[in-house]
Amino acid sequence: MTFSLEWAKIAMKHLHKKIEPDSQYPHYLISIYEVRHSERTIRKGCICGCHLPTPKTSRNASHIVEEIVIRRSDVTSFLILVAITDTEGSKMYKVRLLSMINRYTLGSLAAFLILICITALLGGSVVQAAPSTQETAYWKDYQDPDYGFSLQYDAANWQPKITVRAPNDPDPQVIAKRVGFFGSRAAVTIDVWEHPEKDLVGWVKRDFNNREMPYDVTEVNAKVAGLPAVAYFEPAEQAPSVLSIVFSDDSHFFRIQYVIGDMGAAKDIYLHMLESFSVESPAAKTEFQFPTNVQDKVTGALPAVTTCCGYSWPGNPFPCDNGNCTWWVYYRQGYVPFTGNAGTWWGQVGYYRDWRKGYTPVTGGIAWWNSAARPPYGHVAQVVSISGANINVSEMTWQGNPCSQEPVYRAYASTNPSGYIYWVGPVLAKTIVSH
């Protein structure tokens, strides 16, 4: 049974306790809902594993909720459910059942089940839902007018946007076009190069080497539109991990990535997009293969958040754990096209026509440290000003200072960073260079 917004308001009236933000989820408001009703059994057997569906946002008092799914077994008359929501109301796909109580009597079986639930919860376990957004998807065809490819995307929950456009660039390394499909936390991006690539495995290895990342890609292991492809996983800590696949037709080279800011909830959406992908090449077919051993590497991680330590920027694709240098640089810049840990950014600069790297600081640019200088993930900060041989930067740390001490403004010798990354294109929507 699904309760509408009116039922959500009723549930809010029964909100009997609020607890302070948990240290494990510092940027989430955790509330306990007590919902009472005497209707028939909604779903039998839902004792510990009550999952919330993909939420639809609608503002309501102190929370933003439109649908709350309450499932009870026939041994309970009410239950207490914890829903973890961020300040924008996008539910994290985790719920925790604190207690299940029969107001009158509990049979021995019910008592036994409750004891199991409580024991598990006292042990700190959290039930992680893996809702299939396929169930709520509204599939729409996307036809690219420049490079002729097409695919289906979920128009109900994802919005397409062109974020890179650099056609006819003489540098074959430069991405000619990037089309992104953006959900509430995750993204699927399609990169197109105007030069076909015959050695797919070699390209992936060069890409990993440029970003100073270890790799285990050794062979062609997939197919998209009947074309040979290489599927692989890019783990990260300071950024969402990425599930990627590369392939080439007669005219273009493609890379399609799932930026996993939603703890893997949209993996099926990504796979459907790949399966529906087609190109104009006469050699193209409909055959699709994606190795399960690569898919299985998609695991839960810190989600992408739009608010970090009191600062907010819509669409920020990076996580926050008592700060995050990558989140902060994205916020200060207004946008960066890079994925992965900070130490990998240097090796990605060459893909973007309007970005440069060098060893001379630029006000408003990015100071960059590789993973050797700042182990284990590298570091980035924004250059606020330059004073002779020193630079003044604004930065956040990763899992370091508490949020009350973030961000930090400090001075470094200009030779301290491993290098500098900066934008040379049109003025970004937002670049903060003052304190």
Q: What are the tens digits of pLDDT across the range 342-386?
A: 999 999 999 999 999 999 999 999 999 999 999 999 999 999 999
**Each residue of 275-291: pLDDT tens digit?**
999 997 655 567 999 99
Per-residue pLDDT at 103 exceeds 60:
no
- Percent of the chain scoring above 90 in pLDDT: 56
Question: What does the pLDDT read at residue 369?
Answer: 97
Question: What does the pLDDT read at residue 217?
Answer: 87
Residue 91 in tokens: 């539910």
Q: How confident is the model at residue 61 (pLDDT cuts 50, 70, 90)?
A: very low
Per-residue pLDDT at 99 exceeds 90:
no
Looking at residues 102-124, what average pLDDT do you find? 37
Looking at residues 182-188, what average pLDDT do you find? 92
Question: For the purposes of burial, counting CB atoms within 10 Å of the CB of 24, is it exposed (0-12), middle (13-18) or buried (19 or more)?
Answer: exposed
Residue 227 in tokens: 């074309």
Residue 373 in tokens: 């200088």
Which is nearest to 54 in space by CA: 185, 242, 152? 185
Q: How confident is the model at residue 321 (pLDDT cuts 50, 70, 90)?
A: confident
Is 241:301 a contact under the CB 8 Å cutoff?
yes
- Taking all residues of the chain, what is their mean pLDDT, rounded to a whole number? 74
Question: What does the pLDDT read at residue 283?
Answer: 55
How many H helices and E strands in the chain?
6, 26
Question: What does the pLDDT read at residue 339?
Answer: 95
Cis check: omega of the bond before 407, within 30 degrees of 0: yes
Is 95:50 a contact under the CB 8 Å cutoff?
yes
Q: Give Cα separations from 191 to 56, 139, 238 (angstroms).
A: 29, 21, 22
Greatest mean pLDDT among 5-14, 119-128, 272-281 lies in 272-281
Neighbours of 256 (CB within 10 A): 24
**Each residue of 287-302: pLDDT tens digit?**
999 999 999 988 766 7
Is 406:396 a contact under the CB 8 Å cutoff?
yes
Question: What does the pLDDT read at residue 104?
Answer: 35
Question: For the purposes of burial, counting CB atoms within 10 Å of the CB of 166, is it exposed (0-12), middle (13-18) or buried (19 or more)?
Answer: middle
Q: Which CATH number fits domain 134-295: 3.60.20.10, 3.40.50.2300, 3.40.1000.10, 1.10.3720.10?
A: 3.40.1000.10
Question: What does the pLDDT read at residue 101?
Answer: 32
Class for the domain spanning 307-423: alpha beta
Phi, psi for 326 (deg, rounded to 5): -70, -40
Per-residue pLDDT at 40 exceeds 70:
no
Question: For the purposes of burial, counting CB atoms within 10 Å of the CB of 122, is it exposed (0-12), middle (13-18) or buried (19 or more)?
Answer: exposed
Q: How confident is the model at residue 66 (pLDDT cuts 50, 70, 90)?
A: very low
Cα distance between residue 357 and residue 348, in whole Å? 10
Question: What does the pLDDT read at residue 428?
Answer: 52
Maximum C-alpha span of the chain: 77
Report CA 294 to chain centroid distance, whole Å: 18
Least confidently predicted of 128-137, 247-256, 309-318:
128-137
Cα distance between residue 44 and residue 196, in whole Å? 55
Q: Name the amino acid, one letter, at 310.
A: G
Residue 371 in tokens: 């993973």
Is 61:12 a contact under the CB 8 Å cutoff?
yes
Is 100:82 a contact under the CB 8 Å cutoff?
no
**Each residue of 376-406: pLDDT tens digit?**
999 999 999 999 999 999 999 876 788 989 9
Looking at residues 218-230, what average pLDDT do you find? 95
Residue 68 in tokens: 């709350």
Instruction: Name the helix (H) or strand (E) containing 272.
Output: helix 267-276
Per-residue pLDDT at 232 exceeds 60:
yes
Looking at residues 178-196, what average pLDDT do you find? 95
Beta bridge partners of 84: 30
Cα distance between residue 409 and residue 150, in whole Å? 46
Q: How confident is the model at residue 421 (pLDDT cuts 50, 70, 90)?
A: very high
Q: How confident is the model at residue 31 (pLDDT cuts 50, 70, 90)?
A: very low
Greatest mean pLDDT among 49-53, 64-68, 400-404, 427-431 lies in 400-404
DSSP 136: G
Residue 205 in tokens: 């290895």
Where along the chain do its domains lie?
2-129, 134-295, 307-423
